[in-house]
């Protein structure tokens, strides 16, 4: 069912241009269809702020539940922002206070970039855990992406993420471990998922606390897991929301960091992502970058257009399936007054009572 453009957020215009069905508030008001209100806590850095909006909005809008989806982006303090991002947030985002007042049916928490070795040292740690403590009592289900997964697993279970020897970066094959769970219903048993991270939480550690791992990879580790109750918190360690060009954009940023002496080594390719022809083009470009850096020359543009048309997206269908199943469960559990029947008997002060 369609997204409702209940604000002037430019993401709605971009998605409509891509062919997504976007309802105006007037048209939505004349449909006898139930609304679902989904929060998007966007804590990505400025360069990825609007792209992250589009990625998650697109996945929500692709669900086929009989509902109108109102997505409410907001952010928190403790994140360094430039003037353009602050202006965007001020104009189009809601405040957490407004979110609490109006309520949500479900909440998505994006990933983030960090600067400290321990997450509790990040400026956004306290605001993030405040949102989570509110949401676990007032929202049907919370879906966490990558860094948010690491942060909330640490907050709930005391499990700190482990630094990896090298960045886990690429598109990895995965297998469904539990085919009976509602989130994996009607999905292929094998599919790809992009990953991009320097740290990891491990399946064995989570299972000791009753976390249920639903999808994992021999190469990349766990991807999809749920809280011990089976639904109220959904953990993604990968990035199923990524566009087909997302890893290319990350690779380009790392190449430019090398050129500007912000990293010592030339970045490796994201694994299982570029085909052989694209790798050869990029190897030729790497030689140009190294020469330009050595002699102080202006860098020629990367041959992106030639590469983009050769990229395959092997994860979008499975990502849509998970989101469709997730919001279908939210739709079934909540009622139109946004009351949560499963909260009876839950102790909101117990971080393990999920």
Domains contained in the chain, CATH given: 3-243+313-343 (3.40.50.880), 246-308 (no CATH)
CA distance readout (Å), 192 to 120, 223, 257, 325: 31, 10, 28, 18
* % the chain with pLDDT above 90: 78
Encode pLDDT of 33-83 as tens digits: 788 999 999 999 999 999 999 999 999 998 876 788 899 999 999 999 999
* Pure H helices in 195-261: 203-207, 246-259
What gap in Å lies between CA 157 and CA 246, rounded to an integer? 31
Tell me the per-residue pLDDT of 261-283, one tens digit each, with 9 for 90 and over.
999 999 999 999 999 999 999 99
Q: Write the CA distances from 113 to 54, 194, 253, 289, integer angstroms.
A: 18, 17, 14, 26
Q: Is the pLDDT of residue 229 over 50?
A: yes
pLDDT of residue 8: 84
By annotation, the residues acting in catalysis are 146, 239, 241
Whether 204 has a pLDDT exceeding 50, the answer reads: yes
326 and 141 Cβ atoms separated by less than 8 Å: yes
């Amino acid at each position: 069912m369609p997204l409702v453009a209940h604000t002037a957020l430019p993401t709605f215009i971009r998605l409509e241009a891509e062919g997504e069905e976007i309802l105006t508030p007037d048209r939505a008001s004349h449909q006898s269809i139930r609304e679902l209100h989904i929060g998007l806590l966007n804590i990505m850095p400025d360069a990825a702020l609007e792209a992250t909006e589009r990625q998650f909005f697109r996945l929500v809008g692709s669900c086929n539940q009989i509902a109108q989806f109102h997505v409410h982006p907001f952010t928190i303090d403790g994140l360094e922002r430039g003037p353009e991002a602050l202006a965007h947030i001020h104009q189009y985002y809601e405040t957490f206070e407004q979110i609490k007042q109006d309520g949500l049916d479900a909440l998505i928490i994006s990933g983030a970039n960090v600067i400290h070795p321990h997450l509790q040292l990040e400026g956004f740690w306290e605001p993030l855990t405040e949102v989570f403590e509110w949401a676990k009592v007032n929202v049907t289900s919370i879906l966490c992406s990558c860094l948010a997964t690491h942060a909330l697993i640490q907050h709930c279970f005391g499990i700190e993420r482990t630094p990896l020897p090298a960045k886990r970066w690429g598109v990895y094959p995965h297998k469904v471990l539990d085919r009976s769970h509602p989130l994996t219903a009607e999905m292929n048993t094998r599919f790809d998922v992009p990953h991009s991270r320097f740290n990891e939480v491990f399946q064995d550690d989570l299972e000791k606390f009753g976390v249920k791992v639903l999808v994992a990879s021999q190469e990349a580790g766990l991807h999809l897991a749920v809280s011990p109750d089976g639904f109220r918190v959904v953990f993604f360690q990968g990035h199923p929301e990524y566009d087909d060009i997302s890893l290319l954009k990350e690779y380009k940023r790392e190449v430019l960091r090398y050129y500007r002496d912000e990293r010592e080594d030339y970045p490796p390719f994201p694994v299982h992502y570029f085909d052989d022809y694209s790798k050869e083009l990029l190897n030729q470009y790497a030689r140009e970058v190294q020469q330009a850096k050595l002699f102080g020359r202006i860098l020629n543009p990367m041959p992106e257009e030639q590469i983009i048309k050769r990229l395959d997206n092997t994860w979008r269908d499975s990502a849509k399936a998970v989101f469709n199943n997730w919001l279908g469960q939210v739709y079934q559990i909540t009622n139109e007054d946004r009351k949560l029947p499963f909260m009876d008997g839950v102790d909101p002060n117990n971080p393990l009572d999920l």
